[in-house]
């Protein structure tokens, strides 16, 4: 069986019976005739010395012997090839390539030299050069199994899964008894290409040949899971672990399935087994905390993370997971305390900066939040969440041009994200680019016709312009059906009724809005306007004064108060 050459250059000892003779052409009496050069005895003796040193694994001495052989016969392809191999053994790649090329100049069809050069290019990641040579090898030797195998590695590195499959299929066709790993690799490729029936067949064939091949059972489990056969997947994952309880990825998939079906204890037991096998497996310990979190047992999750912090003080991951749990629970200060440590221990960790910035944003620490979020975007500039929060942050700081830049990026990298679209539409509206804001609101409502925030914001935008008031009223009524006690929505409805001349109805809505949002100068101003229209001037002045306390630089209210 032909040996499969893996990604790294594989060197094997080749013992030659003697130095190759070389044909030379000379001219005699205007006629060419071929004469054969006799091998040099001195070269042969030193070549044999080199072979002996090779067998003793004394590669430096072998190289010296082969180089001495070249002094007596520099035209021997075999000696040049032997020198190249020794340089490869000693890690002198450039020197090896030089002697391999010399070998090919002396013997253009030398298969060993050609394959060695191709393997070096493969090892160096020079995919184009490696692919070209392997194809040339296969043109001359279409049954060369190792060339097909290595060509598959090139295609994999280039992301051409279909061509890699073709090459591996050729390997198993030419050499059915090839190493089991080749079949497994082919099965993995079928999975990656979503050729599930082909993948299942090859993994089942592996099991038929060897019922103890745990990875094949894992492979069938992956196929079953992809086909949404949860029970079948669980069965095969369990069997793979029975055969090899250290198959971590099978345990992870099985645990994920147990978690998805709410079988929390089964999922936890799997990771506890993993920790018993390896008490330094931090990933398994973190997985336990994650299962507790999904189970809703937050205190246990955090308690477990604290244990990990103490046992592995240099690992940032328990701080990251704790920060995310606190963030989800709205404990923003505690979240930041953990996430700040992440940025100190792992300054290149994107999530530490991102979630740290979000936790600061929710504490209204906008300046420091912007620093953290901008640091996050240095690592992932197209992060939708990072761009969204920075956009909202700058809109709150009334830096609307910068807000537009980030929010547009968030929407572009995550099309259809309604929250980002709502925020961007609001900024467009603030900037007075109503054509853009209206278009975006219409798009949001085509995606989510009942989105209360978009209904209200669009309605209010129309009302501030005094246009399409009937449609605006219809939209805000829909919003209030969803959230009848929302002060902002009540204010919008009241203001539209005010604009339509329905002052009594407007008063009812705005009084209720004021009771919900007494921190809003805008709602106070609207209520004062209604009171004034109804002739309740003293109440109007009283409310306007309260609104002015909330927003002392509000020129509109000052004008109404004659200030």
- Does 187 fall in a domain? no
Can you tell me the distance from the alpha carbon of 188 to that of 16, in angstroms, rounded to the nearest whole number? 40
pLDDT tens, residue by residue, 76-123: 999 999 999 999 999 999 999 899 999 989 998 888 888 898 899 888
Can you tell me the distance from the alpha carbon of 474 to that of 483, in angstroms, rounded to the nearest whole number? 15
User: Residue 381's pLDDT band (boundaries 50, 70, 90)?
Assistant: very high
Task: Give the CA count within 13 Å in the CB-facing half-sphere of 224.
Answer: 21
pLDDT mean over 374-379: 97
C-alpha 291: how far from chain center: 22
- Does 113 fall in a domain? yes
Can you tell me the distance from the alpha carbon of 210 to that of 179, in angstroms, rounded to the nearest whole number? 12
The rounded percent of the chain whose pLDDT value lies above 90 is 74
pLDDT tens, residue by residue, 538-549: 999 999 999 999
CATH of the domain at 61: 1.25.40.10
Q: Note the pLDDT of residue 482.
A: 94
Phi, psi of 91 (to 5 degrees): 80, 15
Residue 4 has pLDDT above 90, yes or no: no
The rounded percent of the chain whose pLDDT value lies above 70 is 93
Residue 49 has pLDDT above 70, yes or no: yes
Residue 340 has pLDDT above 60, yes or no: yes
Query: Is residue 194 classed as helix, strand or coil in its secondary structure?
Result: coil
pLDDT tens, residue by residue, 168-207: 999 989 988 888 888 888 999 999 999 999 999 999 999 9
pLDDT mean over 433-438: 96
One DSSP character per residue, 493-550 reads: HHHHHHHTT-HHHHHHHHHHHHHH-TT-HHHHHHHHHHHHHTT-HHHHHHHHHHHHHH
pLDDT mean over 503-515: 95
User: Residue 260's pLDDT band (boundaries 50, 70, 90)?
Assistant: confident
- Does 93 fall in a domain? yes
Who has greater pLDDT, 25 or 69?
Answer: 69
Residue 437 has pLDDT above 50, yes or no: yes
- Does 36 fall in a domain? yes
- Does 441 fall in a domain? no
Q: Note the pLDDT of residue 246.
A: 83
Can you tell me the distance from the alpha carbon of 110 to that of 129, in angstroms, rounded to the nearest whole number? 18
Residue 387 has pLDDT above 50, yes or no: yes
Q: Note the pLDDT of residue 38.
A: 62
pLDDT tens, residue by residue, 469-500: 999 999 999 999 999 999 999 999 999 999 99
- Counting every residue written for the chain, the total comes to 563
- Does 492 fall in a domain? no
341 in Cβ contact with 370 (< 8 Å): no
437 in Cβ contact with 454 (< 8 Å): no
Residue 3 has pLDDT above 80, yes or no: no
Q: Which of 238, 273, 277 is nearest to 258 (CA)?
A: 238
Q: Note the pLDDT of residue 10.
A: 27
Residue 21 has pLDDT above 50, yes or no: no
Q: Note the pLDDT of residue 60.
A: 92
Paired strand residues for 23? 36
pLDDT mean over 451-465: 95
One DSSP character per residue, 390-448 reads: HHHHHHHTT-HHHHHHHHHHHHHHSTT-HHHHHHHHHHHHHHT-HHHHHHHHHHHHHH-
- Does 89 fall in a domain? yes
Who has greater pLDDT, 41 or 451?
Answer: 451
Q: Which of 170, 125, 121, 110 is nearest to 134 (CA)?
A: 121
Residue range of the domain that includes 3: 1-141
Paired strand residues for 26? 33
Q: Note the pLDDT of residue 249.
A: 86
User: Residue 278's pLDDT band (boundaries 50, 70, 90)?
Assistant: confident
DSSP 18: S
Q: Say if strands 23-28 and 31-36 run parallel, antiparallel, or are unpaired.
A: antiparallel
- Does 525 fall in a domain? no
pLDDT mean over 292-314: 95
Q: Note the pLDDT of residue 259.
A: 87
429 in Cβ contact with 460 (< 8 Å): no
Residue 321 has pLDDT above 80, yes or no: yes
Phi, psi of 32 (to 5 degrees): -90, 140
- For all residues of the chain together, what is the average pLDDT? 89
Residue 27 has pLDDT above 60, yes or no: no
Q: Distance of CA 264 to CAs 271, 282, 289, 377, 550, Å?
A: 11, 20, 12, 36, 51
The count of domains in the chain is: 1
**pTM for the full predicted model:** 0.67
């Amino acid at each position: 069986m032909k040996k499969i050459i893996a990604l790294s250059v594989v060197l094997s000892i080749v013992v030659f019976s003697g130095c190759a003779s070389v044909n030379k052409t000379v001219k005699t009496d205007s006629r060419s005739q071929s004469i054969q050069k006799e091998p040099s005895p001195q070269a042969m003796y030193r070549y044999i010395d080199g072979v002996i040193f090779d067998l003793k694994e004394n590669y430096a001495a072998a190289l010296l012997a082969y180089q001495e052989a070249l002094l007596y016969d520099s035209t021997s392809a075999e000696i040049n090839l032997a020198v190249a191999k020794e340089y490869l053994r000693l890690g002198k790649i450039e020197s090896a390539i030089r002697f391999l090329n010399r070998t090919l100049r002396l013997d253009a069809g030398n298969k060993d030299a050609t394959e060695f050069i191709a393997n070096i290019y493969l090892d160096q990641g020079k995919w184009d050069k490696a692919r070209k040579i392997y194809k040339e090898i296969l043109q001359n030797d279409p049954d060369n199994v190792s060339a097909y195998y290595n060509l598959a590695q090139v295609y994999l590195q280039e992301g051409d899964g279909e061509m890699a499959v073709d090459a591996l299929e050729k390997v198993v066709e030419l050499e059915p008894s090839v190493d089991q790993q080749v079949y497994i690799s082919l099965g993995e490729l079928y999975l990656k290409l979503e050729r599930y029936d082909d993948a299942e067949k090859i993994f089942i064939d592996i099991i038929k040949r060897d019922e103890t091949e745990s990875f094949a059972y894992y492979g069938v489990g992956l196929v079953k899971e992809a086909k949404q056969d949860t029970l079948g997947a669980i069965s095969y994952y369990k069997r793979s672990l029975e055969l090899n309880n250290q198959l971590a990825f099978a345990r992870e998939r099985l645990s994920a399935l147990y978690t998805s079906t709410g079988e929390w204890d089964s999922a936890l037991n799997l990771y506890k087994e993993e920790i018993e096998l390896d008490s330094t497996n931090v990933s398994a310990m973190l997985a336990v905390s994650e299962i507790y979190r999904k189970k809703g047992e937050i205190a246990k999750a955090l308690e477990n993370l604290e244990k990990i912090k103490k046992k592995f003080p240099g690992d940032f991951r328990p701080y990251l997971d704790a920060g995310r749990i606190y963030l989800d629970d709205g404990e923003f200060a505690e979240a930041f305390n953990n996430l700040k440590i992440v940025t100190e221990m792992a300054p290149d960790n994107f999530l530490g900066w991102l979630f740290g910035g979000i936790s600061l944003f929710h504490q209204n620490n906008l300046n420091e939040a912007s620093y953290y979020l901008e640091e996050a975007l240095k690592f992932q500039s197209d992060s939708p969440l990072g761009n969204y929060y920075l956009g909202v942050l700058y809109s709150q700081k009334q830096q609307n041009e910068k807000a537009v830049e980030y929010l547009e990026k968030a929407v572009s990298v995550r099309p259809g994200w309604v929250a980002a679209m709502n925020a961007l539409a609001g900024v467009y509206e603030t900037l007075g680019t109503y054509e853009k804001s209206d278009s975006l609101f219409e798009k949001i409502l085509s995606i989510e016709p009942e989105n209360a925030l978009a209904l209200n914001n669009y309605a209010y935008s129309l009302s501030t312009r005094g246009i399409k008031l009937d449609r605006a009223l219809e939209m805000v009524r829909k919003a209030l059906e969803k959230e009848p006690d929302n002060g902002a929505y009540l204010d919008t409805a009241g203001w539209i009724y005010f604009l339509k001349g329905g002052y009594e109805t407007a008063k009812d809505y705005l009084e209720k809005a004021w009771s919900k949002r007494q921190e809003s100068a805008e709602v106070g101003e609207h209520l004062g306007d209604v009171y004034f229209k109804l002739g309740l001037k003293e109440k109007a002045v009283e409310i306007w004064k309260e609104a002015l306390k909330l927003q002392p630089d509000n020129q509109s209210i000052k004008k109404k108060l004659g200030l």
